[in-house]
Amino acid sequence: MKRITILITCLIVVSVAGTAAVSFDIETDEADLDINATFDLYAEEKKNLFGTRWSIPDRATIHAVEDTQGQIEDWEHEDGQVELTSNDGPRRNKETISIRYTIPDIVQTWQDRVHRLELELPGFSDRYEQFDEEQTQVRVQTDDPVLGLAPPNNYNYSFDDTEAILAGEGPASFRLSYTDVTATYDHYTAVGDINLTGADRTYPLLWHITGFDPQFTRSFAVIPLSPEQYNQQMDRWSAATYRQGGLIFLRNTSRSQAAQTSLLMHETMHGFNQEKLSWVQLEAGVFDEGTAQYAEYITKQKQNERYGELFGENVTWRGPCENDDGRQCRYWLSPRGGPPETLWNYYEQNLTFMQGWSPVDAGVRDFGYAFSELIIRNYMKDRDPDALHTVYEQMEDFDRVDEDDQYWQRLATLIGDLRPCDRESLDDVRSCTEAINDVEPEVPEEVTIAGGQQANLTFDPVERETVNGTNRTTLPDSTFQERKGFFEQLGDWIVQGFTRLMNLAGEFLS
């Protein structure tokens, strides 16, 4: 196997001379932000007055507006814009404006210790033809040490203790998280009573899959929430949620350590993708969820957990019933995404909704997860275990895209086949998905990270017992959810069938 070296690049933010400059000095004050925005206005011909508009949220309180001549009185703030005219002064080509303001209640907080800031700041973009660059620089001082950062596309960034700095061109939209909780594991910070030993040991798997180590975070903070809290703050249908800036929110329910580990590998993979997918200015569902599902799939395989097939058949086995009454019960995992017919129908009907798919699309959520994973597993089927390393490397030079068709075309250049198992007959579709489901996943055996440290993989396999010649395993949450989901779906089918019969009867009687 190949030995993969991951190089960590140190980012140093510097001011660029000869550019049109915008700077922000920001300080957090509990839930509020104090901001000092400074920007230069230019004119080709000298003049006495400068006028402009500047974006500031309506809820902000403006404390002062100034220029080089002193306090500016001629300004108005409405509809998210400050419209101002500078003080009258000597004729000049340049004027510097400074606005000090506070945005209240913008910092989100969980468990009183983890904080997250999501902010959009204005900047110049193609405003001054005489400048090659229109530089924006942001400096944020936080109450507690910075945990992680999600910068704008093509922005340089760095953070140290309670300060973060970003520099790039144009407006800046970013997320920043910070906490006083110290990292309790090598790769995770546990915010609450939760055991992350299995996930911490398994974390290097993501280095092996991707070929890089994300630089935007010190560690990933895992925040367990009660089911009630989770339902109020996150998507009710999910078991865990990743938020940009290195935060993972976990529905705090009873689950095995193995099930928790595979779930956390899925969410942490979203964090890895954050580093490379900043060029996508929309929902990158297929690649983001596909690779996250792939990481979860490999984790389950390495831990000896059962995993449902993709557009395949039921995975069935027999074992002692859960109530331990001595009887044998039949267990099964339904095919993820449905049987092969589901995939066949998608192609036969020339559907294209996967181009703009997002997990929030409830009607096609399960299909979308399975289809996204199928794309990645189909790509890896006949390639070297480090094939995704090249995919991530190629992303580094991408310009931003903000249209679904642009994203889909870009993804096609990376992955190639975005219609996996699109075949002429249902039998051919079935054979194709069967071949993908039969592949044993591989990852590079060795990865070297910064400083020459070897990243070795360690897993905690689930012990399986043999009952009447059939292997069984302690059922993870996902198995129960699959079974629960099957019965819920069966109930829906019964209700729909009964409703249809009643409608037919009504039409007959009328």
Sorted by sequence, the CB contacts under 8 Å of residue 268 that are 6+ apart come out as 199, 203, 206, 220, 242, 248, 295
Mean pLDDT of the chain: 84
Tens digits of per-residue pLDDT, 379-424?
999 999 999 999 999 988 788 887 888 889 999 999 999 999 999 9
pLDDT score, position 182: 85
Name the nearest CA neighbour of 44 among 141, 129, 139: 129
pLDDT of residue 16: 32
Confidence at residue 479, expressed as pLDDT on a 0 to 100 scale: 40
Q: Which residues contact 398 (CB under 8 A, 6 or more apart)?
A: 279, 410
pLDDT at position 13 over 50? no
User: Comparing 43-52, 109-118, 460-469, which segment has the lowest mean pLDDT?
Assistant: 460-469
Query: Measuring CA to CA, which residue among 216, 209, 149 is closest to residue 178?
Result: 149
Three-state DSSP state, 3: strand
Query: What is the b/e burial string over 344-356, where b = at least 16 CB atoms within 10 angstroms of the residue's CB?
Result: bebeeeeeeebeb
Per-residue pLDDT, 502: 52
Q: Coil, strand or helix: which one is 396?
A: coil
Tell which phi-psi region holds residue 311, choosing left (phi > 0), alpha (psi between -120 and 50) or beta: left
- pLDDT reading at 475 higher than 50: no
What is the mean predicted confidence (pLDDT) over 287-315? 94
Label residue 62 by pLDDT band (50, 70, 90).
very high
- Span 250-280, pLDDT tens digits: 999 988 999 999 999 999 999 999 988 888 7
Residue 499 has pLDDT above 60, yes or no: no
Q: Which of 58-62, 159-163, 192-196, 486-490 has the highest mean pLDDT?
A: 58-62
> Residues 195-241: pLDDT tens digits?
999 999 999 999 999 988 888 988 999 999 999 999 999 999 999 99
pLDDT higher than 80, residue 20? no
At residue 186, does pLDDT exceed 50? yes
Q: How confident is the model at residue 462 (pLDDT cuts 50, 70, 90)?
A: low
Provide the H-helix boundaries in 215-311: 227-233, 257-276, 285-302
* Residue owning tokens 């009258």: 88
The CATH class of the 20-179 domain is: mainly beta
Band (pLDDT 50/70/90 cuts) for residue 468 is very low
Domain chopping of the chain, boundaries: 20-179, 188-448, 478-510
In Å, how far are 152, 222, 272, 361 from 268, measured between CA atoms? 20, 10, 7, 22
**Banded pLDDT at 129 (limits 50, 70, 90):** low
Q: How many CB atoms lie within 10 A of CB 109?
A: 12
pLDDT the model gives residue 483: 41
pLDDT over 70, % of the chain: 81
